[in-house]
Amino acid sequence: MNNNVGLTKNKGQVLLEKRVLLCLAISAALLLPLGHVYADVAVPQVAKSTLSQDYIVEIDGVIQSFTQPPVSMYNTTMVPMRAIFEKLGASIKFDAKTQLITATKQNITIKHIIGTNIATVNGLMVILEVKSQKINNTTMIPLRFVAEALGATVGWNPTKLTVSISSNEAAIILPGAGYAYGFHNYGSDNFQQYTAVMQIIGSAKETYPLMKFDGGGRYEKFYNDYLNGDRASNYAEGTLESRGLTQAENAMGALINNGVSVSKTEEAYKIARIGALLLKGISNPGDGSPSSAYDALVVKKSDCDSDANVLSAVFDSFGYNTAIIASKNHADMVVQIDGKWYTYAAGSFEELSVTNLSARGLYVYTQPTTGSFD
């Protein structure tokens, strides 16, 4: 089990309000034209802007010159937008009417509307720490975002005030500006893997209206009957009604018994079914190597870590707060529903207390989407 998934970077940035907005925005990014999704997302600014012009930018060891020198704003190095894209080998187009810039390099496409703190990289939304803006009539943009989105790596020498960019990376590293849902990267090693996972999750999400409790099988009606108040105890043991209602209660009883509404229970169960169907038929190699959603959804290798990451991604995409709780040899996704936390395994929800985890041999493998278990 690889314990490198979704580690919290800065809890001060993990605000519930921001994450709710992100969940709405990512859905819009997948379904609407680009111009419809750009609006500023609140990112906390924790230091005053410092318009220092003493910063040096190196690309592959060569010091770069800019007509407008780099500046630091809120601890973020800002550089001239067109210049940095072109220096890193990207072509850039600008639509003056919409203020939309489109930068392309090989198979990478970046879109951004000047004056906002949202961009898309190959259709996947990324939040910039500081919005692009004009300084001395030059449009400035966060350097790290551009460099990492184009596959480069970024280093910082505080003594020399030097930013070093290496443009020779084969893999596209996930932009450091922020993930779509909390700091959940679902175990992805790079941006290409993360993009592939989120595209699969986005497509799967569209199947929600088609979801059936029992896949349309013989027990389908009994799930609805259970939600409407019928119970297995009303029928003789061994009858079709008794078996069907027992299965429904095993699947959803933990939610209903805790007072979760019928509509919320139905929604949660159908979301879980989406995750279960994504994982259906994927084999476990038995060597503990699969750890990411990418391993499960693309490589087609399953283990508890990879499965938990898939379920986390699915529930995150519907706006839920999820985490992964693990023991020495196992990991489970947990989802918060009406204030309580539940695991989902083998087709059933079970309540799980998230207090005193260490006393029970458990630990937080992936932090909650919102940054809090409350």
Which stretch of 5-19, 224-238, 316-330 has the lowest confidence by average pLDDT? 5-19
Neighbours of 242 (CB within 10 A): 17
CATH number 3.30.160 given to 202-366 = no
Of 130, 129, 119, 146, give the one whose Cα is nearest residue 37.
119
pLDDT tens readout for residues 109-167? 999 999 998 898 887 778 888 999 999 999 999 999 999 888 888 888 888 889 999 87
Rounded Cα distance, 16 and 187, in Å: 22
pLDDT tens readout for residues 281-328? 999 999 989 999 999 999 999 999 999 999 999 999 999 999 999 998
Position 127 scores a pLDDT of: 83
Q: 33-180 in CATH: which number?
A: 3.30.457.10
Please return the burial class of 304, using the count of CB atoms within 10 Å of its CB with bins 0-12, 13-18 and 19+: buried
Strands 100-105 and 62-63 come out as unpaired
DSSP-assigned beta bridge partners for residue 23 = none
Domain ranges of the chain: 33-180, 202-366
Rounded Cα distance, 314 and 200, in Å: 10
Position 27 scores a pLDDT of: 40
Return the half-sphere exposure (C-beta side, CA atoms, 13 A cut-off) of residue 119: 27
Selection from 18-27, 170-179, 220-229 with the highest mean pLDDT:
220-229
Position 159 scores a pLDDT of: 86
Rounded Cα distance, 154 and 149, in Å: 11
CA distances from 139 to 68, 143, 205, 291 (A): 9, 12, 37, 41
Rounded Cα distance, 272 and 264, in Å: 12
Q: Percent of the chain beyond pLDDT 70?
A: 82
pLDDT tens readout for residues 165-222? 987 654 444 454 457 788 888 998 877 788 889 889 999 999 999 999 988 899 999 9
Alpha helices in the chain (DSSP H): 16-31, 81-87, 143-149, 191-205, 220-227, 240-257, 262-279, 293-294, 304-317
Position 82 scores a pLDDT of: 95
pLDDT tens readout for residues 47-72? 344 455 578 899 988 999 999 999 98
- N residues, the chain: 374
CA distances from 236 to 71, 101, 195, 225, 326 (A): 76, 67, 51, 16, 40
Which residues are CB-contacts of 365 (< 8 A; sequence separation ≥ 6)? 3, 5, 305, 308, 323, 324, 325, 326, 331
Neighbours of 108 (CB within 10 A): 16
Which residues are CB-contacts of 328 (< 8 A; sequence separation ≥ 6)? 361
Residue with tokens 């966060």: 142
Of 277, 115, 301, give the one whose Cα is nearest residue 205.
277
Strands 56-59 and 162-166 come out as parallel
Rounded Cα distance, 262 and 57, in Å: 57
Contact 315, 335 (CB under 8 A): yes
What is the rounded average pLDDT for all residues in the chain? Answer: 84
pTM of the predicted model as reported, rounded to 2 decimal places: 0.59
* Torsion-angle region of 189 (φ positive above 0: left; ψ -120 to 50: alpha; else: beta): alpha
Rounded Cα distance, 298 and 287, in Å: 18
SS3 assignment for 343-361 = EEECCEEEECCCCCCHHHC
Computed over its alpha carbons, how large is the radius of gyration of the chain? 23
103 against 107, higher pLDDT = 103
